[in-house]
Amino acid sequence: METVELVEQLSDPQIEDLWRLYQGQWWSQGRSLEAVRVMLAHSSLVFGLVEESGGRLVGFCRVLTDFAFRATLYDVMVADGWQGRGLGRRLLDAVTQHPRLKQVSLIGLFCAPEMTGFYEKWGFETPSGDHKWMRRAQGPG
Ligand SMILES: CC(C)(COP(=O)(O)OP(=O)(O)OC[C@H]1O[C@@H](n2cnc3c(N)ncnc32)[C@H](O)[C@@H]1OP(=O)(O)O)[C@@H](O)C(=O)NCCC(=O)NCCS
């Protein structure tokens, strides 16, 4: 089976692979390559899974954080054909074990209801009760 390695920086071709992965998700379709480059430049931590031979990006997620109190995990994706082989687990292990995130008080994420079982494996839980996530939509993507 093809070996996959974890990287924390993407090459130009891998940025284009990421753009293609975004086009395949309902929540990120239409993101432009230019905006994806801006996003990567300003994300606190980036995690990519790349094929050892060829270097194609087949898994990705990223974190925005202050490295002290709060971090938010975004864009967890494994390419079609690679799902169900433990790559999602590698991404979440990498995030939850990252030395620069160990001292952060709280890691949050937003996900569809059917995804909660996946994130619960790493100790994420749905807060009960009185707090609501609010948002101000300002454009596509
Ligand atoms: C969600 C996703 C990242 C999981 O990646 P994956 O490589 O298929 O997951 P893995 O093979 O590493 O699975 C790890 C574990 O999570 C479980 N799992 C996978 N998807 C799950 C789900 N939707 N709900 C509950 N558990 C799930 C697996 O059964 C496995 O459990 P085990 O190790 O205890 O046997 C992948 O399916 C994906 O990219 N989906 C489309 C994009 C998406 O919806 N991202 C989430 C945005 S919030």
- Per-residue burial over 7-38, b if 16 or more Cβ lie within 10 Å, else e, is eeebeeebbebbbebbeeeeebeebeeeebee
Q: Is there an atom of ligand 1 within 6 Å of 117 CB?
A: yes
pLDDT recorded at residue 139: 85
In residues, how long is the chain? 141
pTM of the model: 0.96
Residue type, 136: R
The predicted pLDDT at position 141 comes to 79
Distance between Cα 88 and ligand 1 center (Å) = 6
Which residue type is seen at 27?
W
Please pick, among 30, 50, 119, 124, the residue that the annotation labels catalytic. 119
Q: How far is CA 7 from CA 32, 46, 58, in A?
A: 23, 8, 11
**81: Cβ below 6 Å to ligand 1?**
no
pLDDT at residue 6 in the model: 98
Residue 39 DSSP SS3: helix
Q: Which of 21, 63, 78, 90 to mutate to test the pocket of ligand 1 (most atoms within 8 A of CB)?
A: 78
Measured in degrees and rounded to the nearest 5, phi and psi for residue 109 equal: -160, 160
**Pocket flag, ligand 1, residue 78 (CB < 6 Å):** yes
Q: Is 119 a catalytic site residue?
A: yes
Q: Using CA atoms, how far apart are residues 23 and 20, in angstroms rounded to an integer?
A: 5
Residue nearest to atom 41 of ligand 1 (CA): 77
Residue 128's pLDDT is 85
Question: What is the chain's pLDDT, residue by residue, as a tens digit (141 residues)?
Answer: 689 999 999 999 999 999 999 999 999 999 999 999 999 999 999 999 999 999 999 999 999 999 999 999 999 999 999 999 999 999 999 999 999 999 999 999 999 999 999 999 999 999 888 788 888 999 887
